[in-house]
Amino acid sequence: MARQVLVTGSSRGIGRAIALQLARDGFDVIVHCRGSVELGQAVVAEVQALGRESELLCFDVADRATTRNVLTDFVERKGAFYGVVCNAGITRDNAFPAMSEDDWDSVIHTNLDGFYNILQPLVMPMVQARKGGRIVTLSSVAGLAGNRGQVNYSATKAGLIGATKSLALELGKRKITVNCVAPGIIETDMIDEVFADEAKKMIPLRRFGQVDEVASLVGYLMSDSASYITRQVISVNGGML
Ligand code: NDP
């Protein structure tokens, strides 16, 4: 049986590219989204066309009870995950004085609470399976350097780095690696094209990244070749930082 991995937020963008990369690398891939069921199903079909098993799970990672129920039920049916990629995330940008409670809460609940909500039910089954494993989280250049208009987002992405490093310390003796990938500006729905030309001037490589350039790194971290890499933050940002 192939190793199975979960990629949260894999209906589109970076998560979709990661799902397809991992399928090409021989993993069975569980695709996940919040509401884009048709897009998620299309990714499932793409994974299956690559000869791997796949299934779509749809739930809001900010909804702790539902997340736990769906994931616990899945593990009971299909067994523990070998790998988990915590990719689902949102932005609600605003200058801090104008940042509403909802802007703050929704980003914290999705991006940071999502780490706990997803991984807390999944880690013990991974440990009990005694097969090692891989956890990869998606931070951001904003979590390392901060970014104007993204006080909420930067807080979550910095928080994920601390959470990732701490979990790596806890799980190292179980042969489960835990690493963080910190993209710069990657061309997805999340990017505001209005500021594109200005933003590119801040990037030594003078272009935005492509989703496959993030996915290939996640594929490497998920592989056996990366077995001695843990507790790291690896940037994919065209030299921005
Ligand atoms: P997209 O907006 O393109 O896709 C987001 C994905 O996350 C979708 O699959 C979406 O599902 C899912 N998602 C969002 N909120 C929730 C939720 N509450 N519960 C469940 N699923 C949810 O994002 P990107 O591909 O651009 O970004 C992916 C990750 O990479 C994010 O964590 C982001 O912060 C990070 N990142 C992105 C950068 C960029 O430049 N694009 C730069 C640095 C980091 P649905 O389709 O159902 O809404």
Does residue 201 fall inside a structural domain?
yes
Distance CA 138, CA 185 (A): 13
Report d(CA 22, CA 50) in Å as an integer: 10
* Nearest Cα residue to atom 32 of ligand 1: 89
Give a yes or no: residue 158 inside a domain: yes
Where residue 158 sits, what CATH number does that domain have? Answer: 3.40.50.720
Task: Report yes or no on 216 lying in a domain.
Answer: yes
* Amino acid present at 226: A
pLDDT at 16: 98
Task: Say which residues have a Cβ less than 8 Å from residue 139's Cβ, sequence separation at least 6.
Answer: 157, 158, 160, 161, 164, 180, 181, 182, 233
Range(s) of the domain holding residue 73: 4-236
- What pLDDT, on the 0 to 100 scale, is given for residue 189? 86
Task: Give residue 1's pLDDT.
Answer: 77
Rounded Cα–Cα distance for residues 106 and 101 (Å): 8
Total domains present in the chain: 1
User: Is 107 a member of any domain?
Assistant: yes
Q: Does residue 241 belong to any structural domain of this protein?
A: no
**Predicted local confidence at residue 136, as pLDDT:** 99
Neighbour count for residue 199 (Cβ, 10 Å): 16
Q: Given this model, what pLDDT does residue 115 score?
A: 99
Query: Which stretches in the chain have pLDDT values below 70?
Result: 194
Q: Which among 208, 220, 192 is positioned nearest to 85, based on CA atoms?
A: 220
Q: Is 24 within a domain? A: yes
Catalytic status, residue 220: no
> Please, what is the end-to-end C-alpha distance for the chain in angstroms?
41
What is the pLDDT at residue 195?
75
CB distance 190 to ligand 1 below 6 Å:
yes
* 111 falls within a domain: yes
- Give this complex's ipTM: 0.99
Inside any domain, residue 140: yes
> Is there an atom of ligand 1 within 6 Å of 191 CB?
yes
pTM: 0.98
Tell the residue number behind the tokens 């780490």, with chain if given: 115
